[in-house]
């Protein structure tokens, strides 16, 4: 499933945050969008997933226009989005959280596979998600998304608040998700290492527009990006 965004404009009230963005993530591709704070990264994801009604532009998933498609329908199409803040059900247990997106009990083999990625969650299946530590909640957010067997995964700063060891594991998991299941990835990140490791293209978002885009294997890219991200 590919994702095509054309001339997307979105914001809140009269404030335009994302201004005429166009890009494409091919089927099985992975694009990382990096940028400083307040540049519109989260707003972009919200507009793509229908949480926020775009002011103008087109979003196509698998060739089909999804503007106006309710978020739950996108999720059923296999487009899974992990917001940056608060996407868990705090009163439900870890296990129940994993099951929610599946629409029934999470199958055991899938569950075990996910828990092998995050063993710490396996020890806490019955614990309420709200009482997990910040980093564990992030792990559960990703685990919950994986349990939905996404065809396209939209990640908003998934590495935020995770220890470096866990970030490495997250990177490996995302790479495997692409290789084994052909999942299309769009990730918004602050973590350049993770972005470069997982994505095959990197784009820089500045003041609501994409100002730079290239292959993640480009030599000297890291320095280039650091330069781009400086104020």
Partner 1 sequence: MLVALVLLAVAPLFLGTYYLGLLTISLVYGVLAVSLDLVWGYTGIPDLGHALWFGIGALSVAMATTKLDSFGIVLTTYPGLGRHLAGLVIGVLVAGAIAAVVGILSFSQREADPFYIAIVTLALTVVAGTIYGQLPQYTGGDNGIFGIAYHGLTNVQWYYVSAAVLVVVAAGALVLVRSDFGLVMRSIRDNERRVRFFGVNVELMKLIVFVGGAMIAAGAGGMFAMIEGFVSSQLFDFLFSTQILIWVAVGGRATVLGPILGAVGLSFVTAELSSSSPTQWALFLGLLFVAVVVFIPDGVLPPIVRLFRRVFHQHGAQGGRQLVDVQRSAPELRPAGEPVATVSDVEFGYGSLRVLRGVDFEILAGELLCIVGPNGAGKSTLLNVLTNGKVPMRGRIDYHLQHDRLAQSGASIHRIARSGVARKFQIPHLFDTLTVAETILVASMRGALPSVWRRTRDVQVGRSVHEIVDATALAGRENDLPPHLAHGLKQGLELAAALSMRPEILLLDEPTAGLTANERHVIGEVFRRLLDAGVTIVLIEHDLDFVARVADRVIVLHGGKVVESGTPAEVAASPVVREAYVGTAVT
By the criterion CB under 8 A, which residues form the site for partner 1?
12, 15, 36-43, 84-86, 119-120, 127, 131-136, 138-139, 157, 160-166, 168-169, 190, 226, 229-231
Cβ at position 126, least distance to partner 1 in Å: 10
Give the residue with the Cβ less far from partner 1, 40 or 150. Answer: 40
Cβ at position 35, least distance to partner 1 in Å: 9
Give the residue with the Cβ less far from partner 1, 102 or 229. Answer: 229
Which of 69, 17, 61, 6 is CA-nearest to residue 186? Answer: 61
Give the residue with the Cβ less far from partner 1, 43 or 99. Answer: 43
CB 49 within 8 A of CB 81: yes
CB 67 within 8 A of CB 58: yes
Cβ at position 55, least distance to partner 1 in Å: 15
CA pair distance 39, 231, nearest whole angstrom: 12
CA pair distance 94, 115, nearest whole angstrom: 11
Any long-range contacts for 17-22 (C-beta under 8 Å, 24+ apart)? 17/43, 17/208, 18/43, 18/44, 18/47, 18/208, 19/207, 19/208, 19/209, 20/56, 20/57, 20/208, 20/209, 21/57, 21/205, 21/208, 21/209, 21/210, 22/57, 22/210
Cβ at position 97, least distance to partner 1 in Å: 16
Give the residue with the Cβ less far from partner 1, 22 or 226. Answer: 226
Per the listing, tokens 């608060």 go with: 86
Cβ at position 16, least distance to partner 1 in Å: 12
Cβ at position 182, least distance to partner 1 in Å: 26
Give the residue with the Cβ less far from partner 1, 1 or 39. Answer: 39
Give the residue with the Cβ less far from partner 1, 37 or 180. Answer: 37
């Amino acid at each position: 499933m590919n994702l095509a965004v054309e001339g997307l404009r979105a914001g809140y009230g009269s404030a335009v945050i994302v201004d005429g963005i166009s890009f494409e993530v091919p089927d099985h591709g992975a694009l990382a969008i990096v940028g400083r704070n307040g540049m519109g990264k989260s707003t972009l994801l919200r507009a793509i997933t229908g949480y926020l009604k775009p002011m103008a532009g087109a979003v196509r998933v698998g060739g089909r226009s999804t503007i106006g498609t309710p978020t739950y329908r996108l999720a059923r199409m296999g487009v899974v989005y992990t917001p940056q803040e608060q996407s868990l059900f705090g009163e439900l247990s870890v296990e129940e959280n994993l099951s929610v997106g599946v629409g029934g009990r999470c199958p055991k083999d899938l569950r075990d596979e996910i828990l092998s990625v995050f063993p710490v969650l396996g020890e806490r299946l019955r614990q309420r998600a709200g009482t997990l530590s910040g980093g564990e909640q992030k792990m559960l957010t990703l685990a919950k998304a994986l349990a939905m067997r996404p065809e396209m995964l939209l990640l908003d700063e998934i590495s935020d608040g995770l220890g470096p060891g866990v970030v490495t594991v997250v990177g490996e998991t995302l790479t495997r998700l692409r290789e084994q299941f052909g999942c299309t990835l769009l990730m918004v990140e602050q973590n350049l290492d993770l972005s470069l490791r997982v994505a095959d293209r990197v784009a820089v978002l500045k003041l609501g527009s994409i100002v730079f885009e290239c292959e993640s294997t480009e030599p000297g890219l890291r320095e280039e990006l650091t330069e781009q991200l400086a104020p």
